[in-house]
Structure 1
């Protein structure tokens, strides 16, 4: 099952993205805290993360490296209201898959749909060695 995790401080935006992605048939998880995002990443419960620029008073540029340490395979799509070049360089350097503007117009929504679809297609079919080790440790616990 293709699972998508949505983490955005703006509840209205989070709900809008949930509705948009539900139309595509994905299983959707909503994160209400940074802890939930990191836990889901550690447990490989989602393949794609839609992440807002700020979440629980933590900037995405601070959260992305932590998420990537928990799950290097997780495909992160940063969703923001801005497209500042220095910011984009920074987050791309941290390993995001794609940057999308917050979906407002029909074109924005279609762009986000396509980005998510592409992220699922690019997601590794075989989990990384780190992910496999974590799964074995969880099974032993």
Structure 2
């Protein structure tokens, strides 16, 4: 299965995603700090990153750009509790594969993760 990096400034949200994805057999590393997630990506090869758009110090799109510099092939799903067409377009323009709206629907997340990993 896949190695997935999850970055959400709300620790409990990241842990929830970890539980859902580990039940599907994935290895999941959860972060609430942008720098830690980026440093992890430099040292480890993740297949997929799930990034919240609203973070503490950077935006999810800025983290997406950094991850793409480190690993151009990494697949990315963006999360947001504040969906707008502008954030969706910006995310996709910078290389995100998919976009999910919070609160996360478990089945939708599982389906999108499966679809993105199959790309």
**CA distance 1:21–1:103, change in 2 (3 Å):** farther
Is contact 1:78–1:98 with CA below 8 Å preserved after alignment?
Answer: yes
Deviation at 1:44, TM superposition (A): 4.4
SS at match of 1:58: coil
1:99 aligns to what? 99
- Please say if 1:114 is aligned against 2:111: yes
- Deviation for aligned residue 1:2: 1.5
Instruction: State the SS of the aligned residue for 2:83.
Output: coil
**How many Å apart are 1:12 and its aligned residue?**
1.6
Cα deviation, residue 83, structure 1: 1.8
* Cα deviation digits, residues 67-110 of structure 1 (max 9, x gap): 11111111110011122011111111001010001244xxx211
Partner of 1:45: 45
Unpaired segments ≥5 residues, structure 1: 123-141
Gap regions ≥5 residues in structure 2: none
Query: How far 1:15 sits from its partner (Å)?
Result: 1.2
Equivalent pairs, count: 119
8 Å CA contact 1:78–1:99 kept in 2: the answer is yes
User: Cα offset for 1:24?
Assistant: 0.5
The structure with the larger Rg is 1
Q: TM-score, normalised by structure 1?
A: 0.76
Q: Structure 2-normalised TM-score?
A: 0.89
